[in-house]
Amino acid sequence: RAAVAMSSLCVRSPARHGAHARRGAPAAVAAPARPSLRPRRTRAKATSDAFAEVGSGTITAEQLKGERYIVFNRFECRDMKDSAARFEKRWTERKSRLADLDGFRFFSLLRRVPFDRDEELVVPEGEPNYMSFTVWEDKSGFNEWRKGDAFKEAHGGGSIFGFLDMILSSTMTLKGTPKPAFYDALIPISKVPESVPAAPGGWRDVQADGKNPIAPDVFVAQNRFAVDKGEEEAFEQRWASRESELMDCEGFVFFTMMRRDALEADDGFNYVSTTIWESREAFEAWRAGSAFKRAHGEGKAGGKPAAGKPMFSKPPSPALWEGKLMLTTPQGA
């Protein structure tokens, strides 16, 4: 979902019931307590904790300034068949005017895919198999959205009944609650699109049957980095000094190096390179070509400075995604 889900379910214990002793009546032997057959009442409670990390990241004067603001919401679908198809259908039916909002640049619902298209997808425990991916011009556009009516509309229409319906639907398809993550987008490279998908009212009109996955619009490749404390400046400058050939590559859409806007990344990765391609075929053609080899040569942001000192606390971790329900602007992401 483009919107960041900011809620959790709190369960109240049912009220205790029992006969009160009448005044003057003889004492009765208490019957053994029986479990209540009445359903538990649930109460949806909004929380601001999901936004707590926004703006909490600290940078030095030598680090790069963010040129976009990116929001992910990470989901664990119960399975990648029935639950996943229902989850995607839910996104096609949501009420949103995201594409019409000031400061919006790009959105896609990402479905995780294996590195080899013939392999079975294996997702490490606790990692998402779906993410919503939204690019904003800057943090102010995101803040206006999350505090405005458009956010409420996208999260159940602003009514408690719509909100509960959204939550109950999510519990049937997801493991646990969604986990948002916020990033400053560094050195963005964006190609002007030849065409922009129609988005009447600000959202895509895509049909879904809840039994089959919807068709992808783009392909997204990520590489996640755990950069050691004190190495952030060197890591960013290494990427900023690269000579990129992406704009000349067939099927390229957008690139950015994302820096987590948090004191500490909950998944251990404080930087993520993200590249959007028109298709998996375009990504694979780039990876097999000379531009990929030149970009990933020794000393080209590969994780070791010239002196050989390690930059990472653990190896980089790649992830591939199909992007669905894409929204963008005539200027691109």
The CATH number of residue 256's host domain is 3.30.70.100
**pLDDT for position 308:** 58
Supply the mean pLDDT for the chain: 83
Alpha helices, H only, the chain:
82-93, 139-147, 149-154, 160-173, 232-240, 280-288, 290-295
SS3 sequence, 291-310?
Answer: HHHHHCCCCCCCCCCCCCCC
Which is it for strands 218-227 and 271-277: parallel, antiparallel or unpaired?
Answer: antiparallel
168 pLDDT band, cuts 50/70/90, is low
Q: For residue 293, is it within any domain?
A: yes
pTM: 0.80
* 142 exposure class (CB count in 10 Å sphere: 0-12, 13-18, 19+): buried
User: What domain count does the chain have?
Assistant: 1
Residue whose pair of structure tokens reads 């159940």 in the numeric block: 156
- Of 104-108, 151-155, 194-198, 310-314, the poorest mean pLDDT is in 151-155
Kindly state the tokens that stand for 8: 């959790």
Q: For residue 115, is it within any domain?
A: yes
Q: For residue 52, is it within any domain?
A: no
**pLDDT for position 165:** 54
Q: For residue 26, is it within any domain?
A: no
Q: For residue 25, is it within any domain?
A: no
Per-residue pLDDT reduced to its tens digit, 116-150: 999 999 999 999 999 999 999 999 999 999 889 98
Q: Tell me how far CA of residue 116 lies from CA of 179, 196, 284, 315, 320, in angstroms.
A: 27, 29, 10, 20, 10
Q: For residue 152, is it within any domain?
A: yes
Q: For residue 154, is it within any domain?
A: yes
Per-residue pLDDT reduced to its tens digit, 226-276: 999 999 999 999 999 988 899 999 999 999 999 999 999 999 999 999 999
Answer whether 107's CB lies under 8 Å from 68's CB.
Answer: no
- Of 51-65, 274-288, 295-309, the poorest mean pLDDT is in 295-309
Determine the structural domain holding residue 199 and report its residue range. Answer: 68-328
- Three-state DSSP class for 149? helix
Q: What is the arithmetic mean of pLDDT over 40-46? A: 37
Q: For residue 48, is it within any domain?
A: no
Answer whether 114's CB lies under 8 Å from 320's CB.
Answer: yes
pLDDT for residue 295 is more than 90? no
Q: How far is CA 312 from the centre of its chain?
A: 23
- Of 23-37, 158-172, 255-269, the poorest mean pLDDT is in 23-37
